[in-house]
Amino acid sequence: MTETSKRIAIIGAGIGGMSAAYDLINAGKHVVIYEASDHPGGLAAGFKEPHWDWSVERYYHHWFTSDKYMLGLIDELGWSDQVIFPKPISVMYYKGKFYPFDSIPAAIMYPGLGWGINKIRFGFVGLYLRLTNNWRALEKTTTDAWMRAKAGDKVYEAMWEPMMVGKFGERYAKEVNMAWMWARLHSRSTRLGTFIGGFQAFADKFAAELQRRGVEIHYEMPVQSITRQENGKLQVQFMDQAPELFDQVLVTLSPGMMAKLTPDLPKDYLSGLLSLKNMGAVVMTLSLSHALSPEGYYWYNIPKQVGFPFLSLVEHTNFLKPEYFGGDHILYIGDYLEVDHPNFQKSDEQLLAEFLPHLTKINPQFSPDWVKKVWVSKTPYAQPIPLVNHSENIPAVKTPVPGVYFASMSQVYPWDRGTNFAVEIGRRAARMMLEELKP
């Protein structure tokens, strides 16, 4: 068998899996992607109404100007002219009002920090975190402890604690390590970007390009198991199809799914997968007949302790033009929740009844008859929870089972989840796989 005839399976047609496939097919390997849904994109996938020109992501996504892995891949593909970077307005809540907080001048004017020493401490802490690269020292303590010590209780409680509670709940907010916060503040930009047509347009175009280069993509083919055979091959088992044999397999699903699919994993690697913690997400998307934000704000950072039953309110059409969506105004209502939270079991109607009354706090003129259509998306795997010294718990990309690799957003630490680091870990896995195949 020649090297070019080596067969590689990739489980999952998300951005990470497709990025790995891109490098593997370019190296002359035979690559097959299996995807359980009927479309590519993974958690970055979207949907589209007949009268829309653009798709809308199920879980709101954007790129930063610092997203070098994603933007680098797009440049390689020759599609950089199809990336746009508007500059929407993000706001913070303080005493019943929202204030812009997306630039240094806006931060200076924000009243939630008061005046004097608190703003100075906030500025110096932000500057330090932008300049330092020593995240390993930061992972030895919690965000709560480090921020209180360096920025002070007032600054932390006004600025960062509401986000920690919103993202990780009361249970984990004080346990998340400081390296996670460092990664968020170190390189993110205030300018936010997207692909012309939406993230689904990018995923569809990327999948089509992979197929043009020779990658096979099979949709609606969930994998049941991956087992190593006596001859060294890896058998991929499906529900209604005959099994297939491969030389290598890359799994790009959640740690829990990885554990279910690979019974040959040794106990220590398996227990490591199962010990990883994460938050789920519930996101409601509304199409409205009118704009919600009177001021044209895009991203509302909302502290749950003031009575809102959700973490974020994102008016997508204050980032992108309503004309892209047939004149509809698109609104996201999002929340990170523990996977056993009651909202995962509630119907769309129950969630709508719970959320809608709070929209009058944003715009007193809001009326329920503005709502044209509702979509609710739920996932149990949305936000990894990095505890102190989390780097010691990251599963190896190359698993102990020969030929089996694992690449997920739980392994991009200290960086936060997102498509940029999905590209990075997918391509990193591909490099390791190609290295193993060298004669």
Max Cα distance, the chain (Å): 71
H/E stretch holding 118: helix 117-131
- Write phi, then psi, for 95 (nearest 5 degrees): 50, 50
- Report pLDDT for 170: 87
Is cis: bond before 384, omega within 30 of 0? Answer: no
Residue 212, judged by CB atoms within 10 A of its CB (0-12, 13-18, 19+), counts as: exposed
Give the count of alpha carbons within 13 A of 31, CB side only: 30
Q: Of the candidates 79, 298, 66, which has an alpha carbon nearest to the alpha carbon of residue 195? A: 79
Domains of the chain, CATH where assigned: 3-38+219-276+387-437 (3.50.50.60), 45-100+190-195+278-384 (3.90.660.20), 103-187 (no CATH)
Mean pLDDT of 80-85: 97
Kindly give the pairing relationship between strand 90-94 and strand 299-301. Answer: parallel
Written as six digits, the tokens of 397 are 């990309």
What DSSP designation does 19 have?
A: H
Give the model confidence (pLDDT) of 234-249 as tens digits. 999 998 899 999 999 9
Q: In the beta sheet, which residues pair with residue 84?
A: 194
What is the C-alpha to C-alpha distance for residues 175 and 170, in angstroms, rounded to an integer? 10
Q: Of the candidates 351, 306, 320, 318, which has an alpha carbon nearest to the alpha carbon of residue 333? A: 351
- Report pLDDT for 99: 86
- Report pLDDT for 1: 36
Q: Of the candidates 439, 387, 435, which has an alpha carbon nearest to the alpha carbon of residue 413? A: 387
What is the C-alpha to C-alpha distance for residues 368 and 97, in angstroms, rounded to an integer? 22
Mean pLDDT of 311-340: 95
Residues counted in the chain:
439
- Report pLDDT for 87: 86
For the chain, give the mean pLDDT: 93
The structure's pTM equals: 0.93
Helix (H/G/I), strand (E/B), else coil: 228: strand
What is the C-alpha to C-alpha distance for residues 108 and 427, in angstroms, rounded to an integer? 40
**pLDDT, greater one: 303 or 394:** 394
- Report pLDDT for 184: 87
